[in-house]
Amino acid sequence: MIGSQEWSVNQAASSSSSSSSQPFVPPTFSSLPSAVSTFGAPAHLLAQYTSQPPTNLSLKKLLSLSPTTTTPPSQAQVHESALFTSQELPIRMARRVASFRSLPFIVGANPHIGRVARLYAESFEILANWSDRLRKGGEGEEERFVELLRQLVERHRDNIPDLARGFLECKKYMSPAALSAFLDEAIHSRIGIRLIAEQHLALASNYFRQGVSYQATGYNPSRSSIAASTSRLTAMTSAGGTIHTDLSPYDVLKHVEKGVSALCQSTLGQAPQLLIEGHIDATYVGVPVHLEYVLTELLKNSFRANVERSQKLREEEVRPVKVTIAKSRRHISLRIRDRGGGIHPRDLDRVFSYAFTTAGREPGSDEANSVDEAGPYSIQATAGGGGGLTALGASGLQSSLGTLAGLGYGLPMARIYATYFGGGSEMAVVSLWGEGCDAFVRLPRDPRGEGGMP
C-alpha cells in the first residue's frame, strides 16, 4: 500500500484561479499624477483611461469580430475589429502603467522593470488617439494601424523576461505574496493585450491576402508577429484569426513533441518516446499558441525526468512519456504521465512558484544539490540553478513570450494560460515520490458562453 505521505498533489494549482494570493488592483487617481510618476505618459490621458473598465475578454467576443472558418474576413469585419482593438488596448495599457506606479519606488526604478513600464506608457500614448482616427476613416488609416500594431507587439516581446530579471534583483523589497499578485496580474493582462492585438493582426493578414492593396503603407502580412508565431501550426490556420473552433490537442502534441524531443536530444543525448492514447480525435475551441506553450512546458519536464531517471538507473531504453486525452460533454482533459521519480515532498509547494524566491543559489551548495535530487519540476522554483542536468529545464523554445530560459516562469505561466478563459479549466501536478508525476490539464470544450476575463 502506498503511504499517504508519498502521494502528493499540489492543491493550490488545481483551481481555475492563477494564484492563492489576493488579486492585484491597480490604483485610481484622486488627483493628476506627475509625468515622472507616470513613466512619461500624459497625466490627463492616463487619468481618463484608467477610469474606464476594460471589456471582459471572452472567446465569444473575439469570435464575434471574426468570419466563419470557411469564409475570409470582410472589410466591415476588419474595420469593426480595428475599432474594438483601438478602443480596448489603451484602457488596458493605462491600467498597466497605473500598476507600475503602485510599486515601491526602488522597484519601479529597476532598469528592467522601468523599461517595461516606459514601454507601456509610450504604447498607451501612441494608441490613445487611434480610435478617433479610425472613426474618421481617412485613406490608408486602417493599414497604418495594422503596421503600428505589428511594431508594438514586437516591441513588447521581451516584457516578461525583463520583469523576471527585474524582480529577481528586487525580491527583497516586496513580500512574496505581493510579488506573486503583481506578476499574476501582469501576465493575465499581457495575455489579454496580445490576444486582442494578434487577433486583429491575423484578421487583417487574412483580409490583405485576398488581394487588397497594402503596398502604400509597407505593411506585409508575412512579417507580422502572429504570422510568425502561427507558422509552426500551419495545418491549423483559421480564417477567424488566432482562435480555432476545432483545435486538436493531438495535433498540438505531435507538433510540440518534435521540438521538445530535439531539445532533449541535443541537451541530454536521449529523448523518450511519446505515447498518446484516448480520444485522439477530440477537439475544442481555443487558441493554438496557448495550448502549445502549456504542453511544451509540461513535456519538457516529463522528457527530462524520464531521461535522467533512465540514465541514473543505467537502463538500456528511456521510459516513454504517456499522454491520455479524455473528453466529456463539456471538457477535454489531458494527463501527462512520466516515470521520472516524482517531485521531492519539500519542493512540491514550489512547483508553481515564481523563480524570485529561491534564485541565485551557488553551484555546489546544499540548496543547489537538492535541485538535482528533487527532479525537473524543481527548476520552476530555482530559476534553473543547481547541477549539470538542469540544462533542459533552463532551455526555452522561442515564442511570442520572448526568451524565458532559466528564469523559472515556465509552469506558473503555463497554469495561467491553461486557466485563462475559466469555464472549469484546471491545471494540477500529482507526484508519487520515487515513481513519477502526473500533470493534469482540463479545458472547456466550448468556453464561448463564459463571461470572460477583464
CA angle, residues 118, 124, 127, in degrees to nearest 5: 140
Beta strand 7-9 with 244-247 is unpaired
- Percent of all residues in the chain with a pLDDT value above 70, rounded to a whole number: 70
User: Can you give the pLDDT at residue 378?
Assistant: 45
Instruction: Tell me the C-alpha distance between 267 and 80, whole Å.
Output: 47
User: Can you give the pLDDT at residue 427?
Assistant: 95
Say yes or no to pLDDT of 415 above 50.
yes
Which has the higher per-residue pLDDT, 343 or 240? 343
C-alpha pair distances (Å), 71 with each of 77, 206, 207, 208? 12, 10, 10, 14
Helix (H) / strand (E) element for 63: namely helix 59-64
> For all residues of the chain together, what is the average pLDDT?
78
Say yes or no to pLDDT of 425 above 70.
yes
Instruction: Tell me the C-alpha distance between 277 and 294, whole Å.
Output: 19
Residue 27 maps to a domain: no
Q: Which of 238, 346, 241, 352 is nearest to 294 (CA)?
A: 352
What is the tens place of the pLDDT at every residue in 223-233?
433 333 333 33
The total number of residues shown for the chain amounts to 454
User: Can you give the pLDDT at residue 397?
Assistant: 42
Residue 308 maps to a domain: yes
Q: Are residues 279 and 232 in the same domain?
A: no
Name beta bridge partners: 441.
334, 427
- Percent of all residues in the chain with a pLDDT value above 90, rounded to a whole number: 50
Q: Are residues 353 and 445 in the same domain?
A: yes
Q: How confident is the model at residue 216 (pLDDT cuts 50, 70, 90)?
A: very low
What is the tens place of the pLDDT at every residue in 117-175?
999 999 999 999 898 999 888 788 989 999 999 999 999 999 988 999 999 899 899 99
User: Can you give the pLDDT at residue 306?
Assistant: 95
Q: How confident is the model at residue 1 (pLDDT cuts 50, 70, 90)?
A: very low
Residue 26 maps to a domain: no
Residue 139 maps to a domain: yes
User: Can you give the pLDDT at residue 406?
Assistant: 54
Mean pLDDT of 5-10: 44
Which has the higher per-residue pLDDT, 5 or 90? 90
CATH number of the domain residue 313 falls in: 3.30.565.10
User: Can you give the pLDDT at residue 347?
Assistant: 85
Q: Are residues 285 and 265 in the same domain?
A: yes
Q: Are residues 436 and 311 in the same domain?
A: yes
Q: For the chain, how many structural domains are there in total?
A: 2
User: Can you give the pLDDT at residue 235?
Assistant: 35
Q: According to the per-residue pLDDT averaged within each range, which of 244-253, 367-376, 391-400, 407-416 is highest?
A: 244-253
Which has the higher per-residue pLDDT, 390 or 67? 67
* 30: amino acid identity, one letter: S
Residues 6+ apart with CB under 8 A from 84: 55, 65, 196, 200
User: Can you give the pLDDT at residue 284?
Assistant: 94
| Grid cell for residue 82 | 480595428
Angle between the N-to-C axes of helices 176-208 and 159-170, in degrees from 0 to 180, rounded to the nearest 10: 170
Q: Are residues 202 and 260 in the same domain?
A: no
- Burial category of 175 from C-beta neighbours within 10 Å (exposed 0-12, middle 13-18, buried 19 and up): exposed
Concatenated DSSP letters of 310-377 = HHHTT-SSPPPEEEEEEE-SSEEEEEEE--S----GGGGGGTTS-GGGT--PPTTSHHHHHHHHH-GG
Q: Are residues 201 and 313 in the same domain?
A: no
CA angle, residues 33, 133, 124, in degrees to nearest 5: 30
User: Can you give the pLDDT at residue 379?
Assistant: 42
Instruction: Tell me the C-alpha distance between 75 and 53, whole Å.
Output: 28
Residue 303 maps to a domain: yes
Beta strand 244-247 with 284-286 is antiparallel
Q: Are residues 263 and 208 in the same domain?
A: no
Which has the higher per-residue pLDDT, 184 or 389? 184
- Burial category of 192 from C-beta neighbours within 10 Å (exposed 0-12, middle 13-18, buried 19 and up): buried
Sign, CA dihedral 131-133-136-139, equals negative
Among 42-51, 57-66, 251-260, 342-351, the least confident range = 57-66
User: Can you give the pLDDT at residue 20?
Assistant: 42
Q: Which of 95, 56, 61 is nearest to 80 (CA)?
A: 61
Q: According to the per-residue pLDDT averaged within each range, which of 172-181, 207-216, 289-298 is highest?
A: 289-298
DSSP character at residue 219: -
Q: Are residues 120 and 257 in the same domain?
A: no
Say yes or no to pLDDT of 408 above 90.
no
Say yes or no to pLDDT of 85 above 60.
yes
| Grid cell for residue 2 | 502506498
Domain boundary among 186, 203, 236: 236
Domain boundary among 236, 268, 289: 236
Q: Report yes or no: 291 and 65 within 8 Å, Cβ to Cβ.
A: no
SS3 (DSSP) at 277: strand
Q: How many Cβ atoms sit within 10 Å of the Cβ of residue 30?
A: 7
User: Can you give the pLDDT at residue 32?
Assistant: 44
Q: Are residues 214 and 301 in the same domain?
A: no
Residue 1 maps to a domain: no
- Name the CA radius of gyration of the chain, rounded: 22
What is the tens place of the pLDDT at every residue in 279-338?
999 999 999 999 999 999 999 999 999 999 999 999 989 999 999 999 999 999 999 999
Domain boundary among 236, 261, 287: 236
C-alpha pair distances (Å), 412 with each of 11, 115, 334, 336? 14, 23, 18, 17
pTM of the model: 0.79
Residue 57 maps to a domain: yes
DSSP character at residue 305: H
Residue 175 maps to a domain: yes
Q: Are residues 216 and 349 in the same domain?
A: no
CATH number of the domain residue 129 falls in: 1.20.140.20
Q: Are residues 172 and 60 in the same domain?
A: yes
Q: Are residues 115 and 76 in the same domain?
A: yes
Domain coverage including residue 137: 43-236
